[in-house]
Chain A
């Protein structure tokens, strides 16, 4: 999808969330939903499959979000799926998060961890990143059991991998 179209959908979502006064909630719920989508290829394929009727795809989204997300988040995702852009949901949500962070002169640090981080850990991590890169970041944590232990931080195209999985991969490569 062209960047303009993605940005357009992202701006629409942000405008609706701001109008409803639920920007933080919507951003957080969309981030979690995007993480769930990225970990489930079948779900993305179903939402982007033109053979599946729009109503069926909207029903799937509603079933997933009705009990776990706000009505604004539910309506925003349903609107994107109804427009036939279900396959672009992850990049649209990324754009929403990045544009909102950019509105506050901040960047998004996507942190993958095997366990949930405490607020203290998040704030110390943000401070450490600020100290290392000079950039204020919003820390967004994605629970990823494949990490095993430690953290993987992505800021834009930069990756700081301190996971146990990375150490094991290095160990595997050392055998070759």
Chain B
């Protein structure tokens, strides 16, 4: 970088020097005043003196001399040719151009070319790095897309599995609930029937207990000695009539 700056500075100094050198001959060239002075001097020599020239020009009958002198003066103020420069300008300009061209070819252009090449290399490297980064980004993006797709697929599979499990669980629970309900109904019906049977049995037992109790009280009240003797005799007769 420092080397390149030095090269540009050298080119600028050289160009400035050439311009200064070229400017010196231009300052030395003929001006409008000097041209007019020369024309006036020539006209003075022609009429003897400048005062004589002025007197002649002030006279109306010397109109042709006046027109000629005005043309001479106007020739001093005519512009130089815009196409063809003066010879000395061509020499100085060409020399400056050659010097400038020499330094530009030997110093400036290589420096500029080196800077441009370096810049181009840097841009190329940057482009390569950008391409590499882009390709890496694309690769990462594709990897992420693949991972995302895999995750989505896995998530979808998990959701499907969870849904199927939930369906199975729901079906199992429903079946079990129906089975439990049926079993509970059967059990309730059995309990009711058992309760009914038990209540009926209890009622019968109670009734029989009451009836037998009443019968026993009646029997006890009527079992006097004679009745006891009759029962015993009847038993003995029954045994005797039984063949073993």
Contacts and interface: CB of A to CB of B under 8 A. Distances in A.
* Interface residue tally on B, bucketed by range: 20 to 34
A133 B240 CA distance: 9
A174 B212 CA distance: 10
A151 B205 contact: no
A148 B229 CA distance: 12
Contacts of A148: 216, 219-220, 223
Given A132-B239, A132-B243, A160-B239, A172 B212 contact: yes
Interface stretch (B35-43, B47-55, B230-238): B230-238
Interface residues of A, number: 28
Taking chain B's interface residues, is the majority helix, strand, or loop, or is none over half, making it mixed?
A: helix
Interface in B23-77: none
Nearest to A171: B212
B244 A134 contact: yes
A142 to B, nearest CB: 14
Contact of A150 (B215, B216, B220, B231): B231
Interface stretch (A40-48, A70-78, A122-130): A122-130
30 contacts: A113-B232, A115-B228, A117-B232, A121-B229, A121-B232, A121-B236, A127-B240, A129-B239, A131-B239, A132-B239, A132-B243, A133-B244, A148-B219, A148-B220, A148-B223, A149-B231, A150-B231, A150-B234, A151-B232, A151-B235, A151-B236, A162-B231, A162-B235, A162-B239, A164-B219, A164-B223, A164-B231, A172-B208, A175-B207, A175-B212
Interface of B: 201, 204-205, 207-209, 211-212, 215-216, 219-220, 223, 225, 227-229, 231-240, 242-244
